[in-house]
Amino acid sequence: MKKGKTAVIVGAQWGDEGKGKIVDVLSESFSVVARYAGGHNAGHTVIINGKKFILQLVPCGVLRAGCRSVIGNGVVLDPLAFLKEVGALREAGVKVDGNLFVSNRAHVILPYHRMIELAAENAPGRVKIGTTSRGIGPAYEDKMGRRGLRVADLLDLDLLKKHIENAVREKNMIAHALFNSEPLDADRMYAEYAQAAEKVAPFACDTAVLLNQAFANGESILFEGAQGTMLDIDHGTYPFVTSSSATSGGAVIGTGVAPNAITSVIGITKAYCTRVGEGPFPSEEKGPAGEQLRKRGNEYGAVTGRPRRTGWLDLPLLRYAGMINGINWLVVTKLDVLDELAEIPICMSYKIDGKQTMEAPAQASGYDKIECVYRRFPGWKTSTEGITKFDKLPRQTKEYLAFLEKETGAKIGMVSTGPDRDHTIFMDEFVAELKTAAGKA
């Protein structure tokens, strides 16, 4: 029996690269879309025929008829946020029931996780990470501390009651002692989450079995990451990172498929660079040009509304992301945001203490010493918005993309020229591979 093909989509920068739109566009060629990391701190904005969908937990494949969506074991699930999102999708006429599956091994976010994170982030003397304060980090802490609650446990009401009573007692004491926080009510929490458990139950199953059976049956699977490579807990700009494995390796851990089941890795990069929250950003542009990128690119968080920091394309960072993830296809998003610029800088390499280097420092403080070495490209000063054919792009735009392809060693498979599903350029070789993946060759 012919096994299916798989692709992992990863952010090649600090997240917010436009993965939502790309997963939505590509999901047409895949039977299953599986999310493998993060929580409802990741917002994907998808625009279809002018209608906007903001997805936080639910994979973008849910917007495609006949495509199944999976929330893998590597995700941390806030049951109330999940049910709210499912309700909004139902109201919008999206077929969720029977198409969406949640891993019974995914860990659950409870109110005390939010309490601890909010208090810790605002505590005097603590390094601010710039989290969304949605309880993601503390839920992963409990998972790694082997004191977490999983979806399977959420559905076991006796266990749920005992777990909440014990955890609330402990967390209230910690939060009060460290941060003088108000205590949480265990009985009220149990009543609310027991009710939520009943509504989550129809979605819960062993998604590792589901995915491996689909793969064995020749179906194609798209793995959807959250955040980006430089926010990965192991390989990012620690401690200014997320709490999960945002790289392509996370797809294996976070879903239960084997490493040799991954057939290609697609890295998403903006035509420039952004970052939300605190932490290093070598190519950040703090002047008027940065503000222009923010305005033209509408660089505000899909979930939080926070303004994103903006800057120029960083080649050392992209090469690093390519190495860590094994990126063989690159998708360039928001190309049209650069349309009005007379010249476009690209960070070619780093200088630290006067010495040129291509390596990313291990310590966040190491980034403070970085001086970016830029090369400036002529802008095209004409609109590329909505262009769907590569040969219709201005000459300078093609040169910019060709340079990016040459310097990263990954082939450009797609270019996004606007927010809508249809504002997309597909490269022929990439389309041929997708058709093979979908069994349409």
Catalytic residues: 16, 44
Strand partners of residue 251: none
Measuring CA to CA, which residue among 345, 371, 377 is closest to residue 357? 371
Distance in angstroms (rounded) separating the CA atoms of residues 226 and 57: 10
Distance in angstroms (rounded) separating the CA atoms of residues 136 and 123: 18
Measuring CA to CA, which residue among 64, 403, 73, 427 is closest to residue 266? 427
> Look-up: residue for tokens 């797609």?
414
- What DSSP character marks residue 315? H
Distance in angstroms (rounded) separating the CA atoms of residues 155 and 300: 37
| Amino acid, single-letter form, for residue 310 | T
Distance in angstroms (rounded) separating the CA atoms of residues 74 and 85: 19
> Look-up: residue for tokens 């091994």?
105
Measuring CA to CA, which residue among 155, 158, 148, 133 is closest to residue 39? 133
* Number of CB atoms found within 10 A of residue 5's CB: 23
**Beta strands 264-270 and 6-11, pairing class:** parallel
CB of 268 closer than 8 Å to CB of 19: yes
Kind and range of the H or E element at 197? helix 186-200
Distance in angstroms (rounded) separating the CA atoms of residues 203 and 62: 13
CB of 325 closer than 8 Å to CB of 246: no
Distance in angstroms (rounded) separating the CA atoms of residues 116 and 253: 26
